[in-house]
Amino acid sequence: MDTALQTPPAIAEQQFGSDNYAGICPEAWASMEEANRGFAPSYGDDPWTERASNAFRALFETDCDVFFVFNGTAANSLALASLCQSYHSVICADTSHVETDECGAPEFFSNGSKLLVAQSRDGKMTPASIHELATKRQDIHYPKPHVVTITQSTEMGTVYSLDEVRAISEASKAHGLLLHMDGARFANACAHLGATPAEMTWKSGVDVLCFGGTKNGLAVGEAVLFFDHKLAADFDYRCKQAGQLASKMRFLAAPWIGMLESGAWLRNAAHANRCATYFAEQIAEIPGIRTIAPVDANAVFLMTSETVLDRLRARGWRFYTFIGGAARFMFAWDSDLRRIDELVRDLRACAA
């Protein structure tokens, strides 16, 4: 037997370090398998891409422009670049992925549009913070504010209510700013609020949405949705120039068909959210451990001592502590409640 083809060792036990540790969900996999039967035209000129785009239009109840890219950094930074001239600026939260986790890609792809960072609480910006940054300077020497970006659900696992999204959109429009939504975990926000994708976006004043697939059960891929055709002008060229136009586009598009048409996008997110809530409830009574933000979506941030974290690592658990020293646990479509129980058991032992 060719040893190169032997199954590599899987990581034996499930970890909750990130929601992108999960595999591909069955619905996405089935669509990929179907799309793999035979050949199809390239660069998006195929029936899978058309069907996936139409599934988004049906889900969002509007004739939006839909583009498929490889990851969230590309989706966000290309979307922001397309809304901005190089002398514009983008108002974002200090905790936002575009500010902290994209290696300057929004600035790079926009040829210099500056991110203006607002203080946030639990990952959220307020209309007041937008007003403050939008009016701070209005002279020729300062990059002109042009876009506001919010993350839904936020990097802290919280979710903006519809009223909060609308208030932000009103503040943005009052200053002539466009509104972009980083929806790497958009589905988790919809599941938490019970709001429709339309209510969450264009009906509340969002102009462009990056809808995350990777953390929702795809292998790879995010969709960029423009709710105003004018804003989508030439976005296809921008994607191509940035190396984001897949020649075998059907394999970026097809998995969305299974996700959207079956409702898996929402079921997956609801499961992940339930797991986070369950975990937060289980650890609530453990002395010396507390959550640092409301658990709305699929993330739980735990504040505890370094000793407890070291003990937990020694028991083989993986987690990040890049936000304020808190340990982040994230749940996905495939999170196993029994494995969460093991984590709770170990946390209790480590804290004792």
Ligand X SMILES: *Cc1c(COP(=O)(O)O)cnc(C)c1O
How deeply is 28 buried, as exposed, middle or buried, from its count of CB atoms within 10 A (0-12, 13-18, 19+)?
A: buried
Given 120, 214, 273, 291, the residue binding ligand X (CB under 6 A): 214
Contacts to ligand X from residues 66-85, by CB under 6 A: 71-73, 76
Show the beta-strand stretches assigned E in the chain. Answer: 65-69, 88-93, 114-118, 144-151, 178-183, 208-212, 222-226, 290-291, 299-303, 320-323, 326-330
Number of C-alpha atoms within 13 angstroms, CB side, residue 244? 26
d(CA 182, CA 52): 20
Contacts to ligand X from residues 176-205, by CB under 6 A: 182, 184
Smallest distance, ligand X to C-beta of residue 97, A: 3
d(CA 348, CA 352): 6
Report the chain's C-alpha Rg in angstroms.
21
Given 155, 164, 207, 334, the residue binding ligand X (CB under 6 A): 155
Smallest distance, ligand X to C-beta of residue 342, A: 25
Smallest distance, ligand X to C-beta of residue 296, A: 14
Which DSSP string do the residues of 62-109 spell out, in sequence order?
S--EEEEES-HHHHHHHHHHHH--TTEEEEEETT-HHHHSSTTHHHHH
Smallest distance, ligand X to C-beta of residue 314, A: 27
d(CA 192, CA 194): 6
Beta-bridge mates of residue 151: 182
- Residue 59 or residue 69: which is nearer to ligand X going by CB? 69
Q: From residue 92 to residue 121, what is the string marking binding to ligand X with x (rule CB under 6 A)?
A: -----x------------------------
Given 151, 216, 244, 304, the residue binding ligand X (CB under 6 A): 151
- Residue 183 or residue 197: which is nearer to ligand X going by CB? 183
- Which residue is nearest to ligand X, using beta carbons? 72
- Residue 72 or residue 217: which is nearer to ligand X going by CB? 72
Smallest distance, ligand X to C-beta of residue 315, A: 26
**Which among 63, 68, 29 is positioned nearest to 52, based on CA atoms?**
68
- Residue 51 or residue 180: which is nearer to ligand X going by CB? 180
d(CA 206, CA 134): 18
Smallest distance, ligand X to C-beta of residue 210, A: 7
- Residue 59 or residue 184: which is nearer to ligand X going by CB? 184
Smallest distance, ligand X to C-beta of residue 154, A: 8
User: Can you give the binding site for ligand X, defined by CB under 6 A?
Assistant: 71-73, 76, 97, 151, 155, 182, 184, 214-215
